[in-house]
Amino acid sequence: MVVLALSDRTRGSVLVTGVGGVIGRHVAQEYARAGWKVRGVSRRHGEGAGWEHLPVDLLDAEATQSAFRAAAETTHLAFGAYIEKPTTQELSDVNVALLRHTLNGLHVVGAPLRHVTLYQGGKAYGAHLGYFNTPAKESDPRLIQPNFYYDQEDLLRQVAQERGFELTVLRPEGVVGYAVGNPMNLLMVIAVYAAISRALGQPLRFPGTVAAYDALYQVTDADLLARATMWAGSEPAAAGEIFNVTNGDQFRWRQLWPALARHFGMDYAEPQQVLLAEAMPLHRGVWEKLVEQYGLVRTPFEDIAGWDFGDFLFRSEFDRVDPAGSSPGHREGGRQG
């Protein structure tokens, strides 16, 4: 198991990309609480508690270099930026560019970079392709299917070797925590779906398939992942390694869904397949009435929850189990998955 014991010996200045997302937001907050100098990069979201915001489009290499003059003392990078694209090649091209421009921007301004944390996930094991062998381990071989995770990791390992900094790859699953404007946030999908269902006087139904309802799943608390990020940046044994990071318990939606209904004060009903990406935008008006009724922060409806992400997970008809905290030994050029 990974023990998240931190040391003050590596305290410095951290740059968190994708700070508007569920991972970046919680990582920035964790570093700020520990007394680090924290800067968060995103295109839209403003300054947060305890950290400074850099409004940067990381796809613009020149703009990135210019903006990073304000972050020239950066010692640690937590790379949480992500852009969704429809094809494998487009996904790789755009997300590798985000990482390349970030690394080059810090290099150009002379940042004394010591460590980079890169986030991956179940797609490294083929979870997006269908059934994959579980429990998935960090030492599992890569797949023949192209994957932007592999491309990003290869770039990062190459640049780290050339420029002399360390790296750690963390693989969470189903990250849950508060954030808006993030397409991969299961907590917001469930919460908004339940709130709208309740407002419509409907019971809480699992909207996916029966097979997914019965499959084993697990999640990663965003605060746990933030603590793991700080540990990775300060622990020498984490250098060059890959770690699964999950809460450590597995569940079936069949067991959890009635409990969620009780939490929201709703009746429970058996599963009924519904494509959330098609159904939920039709209830925008219901959500807007809830915002008015309860004095909620006004946020564009499309930024509240990623319905496509929910549809994907609620139709995963196989076990998704990645044991957390496996032993080190995954340094060989990033070829381990």
CB 92 within 8 A of CB 151: yes
Domain with CATH 3.40.50.720 in the chain: 12-175+220-245
Residue 328: the pLDDT is 43
74: left (phi over 0), alpha (psi -120 to 50) or beta: beta
pTM (two decimals): 0.88
36 has pLDDT over 80: yes
Average pLDDT over residues 262-289: 96
Average pLDDT over residues 274-284: 97
For residues 87 and 46, what is the distance between their CA atoms, to the nearest angstrom? 30
Task: Point out which residues pair with 14 in neighbouring strands.
Answer: 38, 76
Query: Which range is least confidently modeled, 46-55, 138-147, 283-292, 306-315?
Result: 46-55
20 or 327, greater pLDDT: 20
For residues 259 and 263, what is the distance between their CA atoms, to the nearest angstrom? 6
Average pLDDT over residues 294-309: 91
Positive or negative, the CA dihedral 84, 86, 87, 89 is negative
| Residue type present at position 232 | A
Task: Point out which residues pair with 245 in neighbouring strands.
Answer: 172
Q: Which of 196, 216, 220, 218 is nearest to 207 (CA)?
A: 196
Average pLDDT over residues 42-62: 85
Q: pLDDT category, 128, cuts 50, 70, 90? A: confident
CB 36 within 8 A of CB 11: yes
Q: What share of the chain is helix, strand, coil (3-state, %, to 5)?
A: 40, 15, 45
8 has pLDDT over 50: no
The set of residues, in sequence order, having a beta carbon less than 8 Å from that of 202 and lying 6+ positions away, is none
For residues 128 and 273, what is the distance between their CA atoms, to the nearest angstrom? 19
Q: Which of 213, 223, 232, 211 is nearest to 187 (CA)?
A: 223
CB 22 within 8 A of CB 177: yes
CA 85 to chain centre: 16
Residue 127: the pLDDT is 86
Question: Mean pLDDT across the chain, nearest whole number?
Answer: 90
For residues 99 and 105, what is the distance between their CA atoms, to the nearest angstrom? 10
Q: Give the pLDDT confidence of 234-271 residue by residue, as tens digits.
A: 999 999 999 999 998 899 999 999 999 999 999 999 99
SS (H, E, C) 159-199: HHHHHCCEEEEEEECCEECCCCCCCCCHHHHHHHHHHHHHH
The owner of tokens 């810090």 is 106
What DSSP character marks residue 282? Answer: G
Specify the DSSP element, H or E, that contains 337: none
SS3 3: coil
Q: Give the pLDDT confidence of 91-122 residue by residue, as tens digits.
A: 999 999 999 999 999 999 999 999 999 999 99
Token digits of residue 105: 């921007």
CB 147 within 8 A of CB 95: no
How many CB atoms lie under 10 A from the CB of residue 333? Answer: 11
Q: Give the pLDDT confidence of 317-326 residue by residue, as tens digits.
A: 988 887 765 4
Q: Give the pLDDT confidence of 179-191 residue by residue, as tens digits.
A: 877 667 888 999 9
Any idea which architecture 12-175+220-245 has in CATH?
3-Layer(aba) Sandwich (3.40)
48 or 105, greater pLDDT: 105
CB 5 within 8 A of CB 231: yes
337 has pLDDT over 50: no
Q: pLDDT category, 70, cuts 50, 70, 90? A: very high
For residues 296 and 315, what is the distance between their CA atoms, to the nearest angstrom? 31
SS3 216: strand
